[in-house]
Structure 1
Amino acid sequence: MKHPPIIGTLESALYASDLNAAAEFWTDVMGFQEIARVPGRHVFFRCGAQVLLIFDPDATREPPRRDARLPVPPHGTKGAGHFCIAVDAGKIQEWRDYLQSRGITIEADFTWPQGGRSIYFRDPAGNSIEIADPKIWG
C-alpha cells in the first residue's frame, strides 16, 4: 500500500522559557504577526503560509488536564532548536545588515556547494535561526 499524499509543512515548533521575550523578538525584530497566545504556555506567529509555534517547554511537557478542550499530547525539548526561513536570494544581505543593525550577531554566513546562501543567528531563547535562499535544497 502506498502512503496517502501530503500538502507540506503546516507548522513548526520552537521552545522558549520566556514567552514575552520570544514574542517581542518574533514580532518586533522579525516582523511576524502574532496570531494566538496563552500566557505561560505558548505564543504562535504567522510565517508566510506556515505557522511558527513557540512553547514554554515546562508547560507543554505536562499532559493535558482530563477536562482540556484540546487534548494535545505532551511535548518539549531541552537545548536549542532550529528554524529556517526562506527568503529571496537577493534579500539575504539586506537581512544580514538589518539584523546586525539590531545588535544581533550573525554566527555563520555560508554559500552552499549546491547553490544558495544561508545566514545563522540566535533568538532570545538560544534557538538557531537560519535565513536561506530556497536553492539550498535544489
Structure 2
Amino acid sequence: MANPSKAKGTSWESLIVGYLREHHNPGARRNVQMGAKDIGDIDGYYLHALEAKAERTITLSDYIAQANKEAIHAGQPFGCAVVKRRMKGVGDGYVVRDLSTDVRLMNRLRDMEAALAGENSELYEALDEQHREVA
C-alpha cells in the first residue's frame, strides 16, 4: 500500500476485527467505505457503528462526531470510536463515546437487566456472575 497512513489505519481495523471475532462476535468484519453515507469502519460491535482511529494526533471531538453520524447511517443506536493507544496492543485501545451516548447505553443496559432480573432471576444471576470482572 503506497500510503503509510492508510496502511496503518487498515492494520488497526484488522486488529480490531480480530479482537472482536475472538472476544465478542465471530461475524465482525471491516465495512466497505460508502462515501457521504459511510456506516463506520467495522460491523459487528453490538448496537454500534464503530470508527477505528490510529493517528498520532488524537482529536476526540472529530472522532465522536463522525461515529455518531455514521451510527445514523448504519441504523445503529450508538456510535463510538476505537482509538489506538500508542505502544500498546489492541485490547488496550480506547473506546470513546460522548456522555449523552453513554448515558443512553447505560439506561438501556439498566432497563434490560431489570427486565431480565424480573423475568428470570436465576438466569440473571448466572449471567451477572459470568460477566463480572474486576478492572
Q: TM-score, normalised by structure 1?
A: 0.31
RCO higher in structure (CA 8 A, sep ≥6): 1
Larger helix proportion, structure 1 or 2?
2
Larger strand proportion, structure 1 or 2?
1
Q: TM-score, normalised by structure 2?
A: 0.32
